[in-house]
Structure 1
Amino acid sequence: MKKIILTIIYILTLSGCGLEQGSYLVGWWNGDIPTKLSDKEEKIWDICREKTKYLPKNTEEEKEKADMELNNCLHEKGFWD
């Protein structure tokens, strides 16, 4: 019985090793299923991404500031409306 349990744990551990953090299966498992953006949302996303992609992101503070700029742009353009 102990060998069967160890074998199951071993198989489950190895089966999860090949999954990347951003893979569809990991997103599905975490309840974050990606959805297709509408044409309007995709256009807004592209505009805001282009606007903020050259902001520095070397430190945590700079990353937070760049993310806030992106979120502000998305909000101003009506991405979540």
Structure 2
Amino acid sequence: MKAYLFDTETGLFEGESFADVAMLNNEDGITTVAPPEYEHGQVPIFDRRKNEWTVIPINIAKQLLNKRTIEITEKAQ
């Protein structure tokens, strides 16, 4: 079954794969809901609570990633 991968903390789209139905029920960061079409400069974000994708500008996605990197660095210290 075709599946779509996303980062479990940010929801950022990470690509697509094929997965067994049993894996889909047991793995986090994977869904069968296809992301919407998006253009250059945009990235899909998956909302697990709503079980749907939204599309945001890439500059906002970069801010999410920078914030996450800072949090990880602070935890490591």
> TM-score with structure 2 length normalisation?
0.31
Greater C-alpha Rg: 1
The structure whose residues are more often helix, as a share, is 1
Q: Which structure would you say has the larger RCO, counting Cα contacts within 8 Å and 6 or more residues apart?
A: 2
